Amino acid sequence: MAGAIASRMSFSSLKRKQPKTFTVRIVTMDAEMEFNCEMKWKGKDLFDLVCRTLGLRETWFFGLQYTIKDTVAWLKMDKKVKKQILDEKIYCPPEASVLLASYAVQAKYGDYDPSVHKRGFLAQEELLPKRVINLYQMTPEMWEERITAWYAEHRGRARDEAEMEYLKIAQDLEMYGVNYFAIRNKKGTELLLGVDALGLHIYDPENRLTPKISFPWNEIRNISYSDKEFTIKPLDKKIDVFKFNSSKLRVNKLILQLCIGNHDLFMRRRKADSLEVQQMKAQAREEKARKQMERQRLAREKQMREEAERTRDELERRLLQMKEEATMANEALMRSEETADLLAEKAQITEEEAKLLAQKAAEAEQEMQRIKATAIRTEEEKRLMEQKVLEAEVLALKMAEESERRAKEADQLKQDLQEAREAERRAKQKLLEIATKPTYPPMNPIPAPLPPDIPSFSLIGDSLSFDFKDTDMKRLSMEIEKEKVEYMEKSKHLQEQLNELKTEIEALKLKERETALDILHNENSDRGGSSKHNTIKKPQAQGRRPICI
């Protein structure tokens, strides 16, 4: 992984600012930095400054890479920076571009939040290559929708985790970390030599994705050159030696330097860690554990904050409900009091009317008795008197009935008054109960220098040779096979995700805009052989037959 990161660090531009200084722009995966360099600075001065700025301690894994005259080269530590320049392009399939973009968004914005990351929040971001955008009939909104869908699945990943997942995907790209050189075989056929962290690969000039043959580092015994002729000797002596010619002696020197550096890293990764590396790994584990504890603490605080907000909302809701109940109780009480007052007033009036009627009835009775006692001498007077008596009796009867009816009505009003006062008493009791309820419910607290067995090389005149010790090659081969199996198992889920997205957007692809690399990538995918780790097995599958390019 670290070796792969090294090949991604490159110059982006070089410009003069003033007579004694110039500016160099360094581009990494997720950062772009400018450094003011003195005219006399050498490669090591700039490299040390970059490492200090990025906080790199495992400096032996890294280097500064640039391109000059269509040739990829590494910045030489003992030469002046001003004499060395750059450019680099890597083919990336559309589905992998979307997945890489989603991890880049996770690293920049953190967890997805629909209330914050609304439609159009990626409109100003350049996340996809123009080649991919032009290849499909899809609007920017459609691309954003697919990127956001995967971005939402990365919830909970810290920035360093998202960056690590980004690198894991990037390192599997066919052209990632590969330095290409134009060569010719004995027959004069034009070929490409690719050098990367896995070994040496021979490509057809029209196909930089799939090598025709590969030489893993653990199967190479010696690499050397004499003048423009370069020789690769396999560990198995029964396999023919592969020879090719480059255009310039300088290119052979560069190829050998890359081979030595990549092979050293290959061997270093498979040897026991030095004390310094062990200390660095221990510090890295402690830092990882600290960050994990910090994330857990933040998660607990966030959970507690969310629970507190929910409790606050519930209390506010209950308080509002209690206020509404109290308002309704007060209104009911006021209505009860008004009703009681009206009933009391009406009962008093009715009682007075009843007394008045009773009094009139008594007076009528007295008048009747007086009339009966009066002697009427004549029949006419008697008849008239009887008629008056009869009328007085009817009137007295009617007054008695009206008095009785008024008395009953007064009793009914008294009963209604009693019931109204009882309702008033109950309303006051309920209001008292509401006023004495606790406002906040009880809450339960939430617990809240290299080893002596490193290969050597020698330079004699115009010839340079580099020998690899084969004492541990068989063991390394077994380890590599084991690593490949484990790697393929881990990447199975990722491949399923990429295939799913590829199926979704395939219908929108514009076939006439496909580049040669797109067609090659699709053919490799259909054959199931697009992975670097599949192509690295080819020499083993071919057995001990002669190499023919």
pLDDT, one tens digit per residue, over 255-294 is: 888 888 888 888 887 888 778 878 888 888 898 889 889 8
Q: Please tell me whether residues 111 and 153 are part of one structural domain.
A: yes
CATH number of the domain that residue 30 is part of: 3.10.20.90
- Give the H/E segment covering residue 10: strand 10-18
Return phi, psi of residue 52, to 5°.
-65, -40
For residue 145, being part of any structural domain is answered with yes
| Domain closes at, from 171, 198, 218 | 171
And the tokens for 438? 């606790």
Instruction: For residue 430, give the nearest of 339, 284, 328 by alpha carbon.
Output: 328
| Domain closes at, from 395, 418, 436 | 436
Q: Please tell me whether residues 196 and 292 are part of one structural domain.
A: no
When divided into structural domains, the chain yields a total of: 4
And the tokens for 177? 């970390």
Q: Please tell me whether residues 166 and 212 are part of one structural domain.
A: no
Q: Terminal CA-to-CA distance of the chain, rounded, Å? A: 31
pLDDT for residue 313: 92
And the tokens for 217? 């580092």
Output the CA torsion 127→133→136→137 (10° steps): 100
Annotated binding-site positions:
76-79, 253
Beta bridge partners, 22, equal: 16, 37
For residue 478, being part of any structural domain is answered with no
CATH number of the domain that residue 531 is part of: 2.30.29.30
d(CA 186, CA 189): 7
Domain coverage including residue 287: 278-371+385-436
pLDDT for residue 461: 40
Q: Please tell me whether residues 239 and 282 are part of one structural domain.
A: no
Instruction: For residue 86, give the nearest of 57, 104, 63, 53 by alpha carbon.
Output: 63
pLDDT for residue 27: 56
Q: Residue ranges of the chain with pLDDT lower than 50?
A: 1-19, 84, 86-88, 439-462, 537-549
Q: Which residues of 351-389 are buried (b: 16+ CB within 10 A; e: fewer)?
A: bebbeebbeebeebeeebeeeeeeeeeeeeeeeebeeee
Q: Please tell me whether residues 326 and 419 are part of one structural domain.
A: yes
Q: What is the 3-state secondary structure (H, E, C) of 192-252?
A: EEEECCCEEEEEECCECCCCCEEEEHHHEEEEEEECCEEEEEECCCCCCCEEEEECCHHHH
pTM exceeding 0.85? no
d(CA 32, CA 126): 14
Q: Please tell me whether residues 31 and 114 are part of one structural domain.
A: no
Beta bridge partners, 220, equal: 234
List the beta strands (DSSP E) in 47-164: 65-68, 71-74
Q: Please tell me whether residues 61 and 130 are part of one structural domain.
A: no
For residue 460, being part of any structural domain is answered with no
For residue 4, being part of any structural domain is answered with no
For residue 296, being part of any structural domain is answered with yes
Q: Please tell me whether residues 284 and 432 are part of one structural domain.
A: yes
| Domain closes at, from 151, 171, 191 | 171
For residue 400, being part of any structural domain is answered with yes
Alpha-carbon separation of residue 201 from 4, 217, 225, 526, 536 (angstroms) = 16, 11, 17, 22, 8
Q: Please tell me whether residues 393 and 294 are part of one structural domain.
A: yes
Q: Please tell me whether residues 185 and 139 are part of one structural domain.
A: no
Q: Are 530 and 174 in contact (CB under 8 A)?
A: yes
220-226 and 179-184 strand pairing: unpaired
Q: Are 520 and 209 in contact (CB under 8 A)?
A: yes
Q: Please tell me whether residues 25 and 67 are part of one structural domain.
A: yes
d(CA 218, CA 470): 8
Instruction: For residue 63, give the nearest of 548, 73, 443 by alpha carbon.
Output: 73
d(CA 70, CA 503): 36
And the tokens for 195? 């050098």
pLDDT for residue 454: 45
Beta bridge partners, 190, equal: 184
Q: Are 369 and 388 in contact (CB under 8 A)?
A: no
For residue 498, being part of any structural domain is answered with no
For residue 58, being part of any structural domain is answered with yes
Q: Please tell me whether residues 411 and 331 are part of one structural domain.
A: yes
Q: Are 264 and 454 in contact (CB under 8 A)?
A: yes
Output the CA torsion 217→220→226→230 (10° steps): -70
pLDDT for residue 146: 92
Q: What is the 3-state secondary structure (H, E, C) of 406-451?
A: HHHHHHHHHHHHHHHHHHHHHHHHHHHHHHCCCCCCCCCCCCCCCC
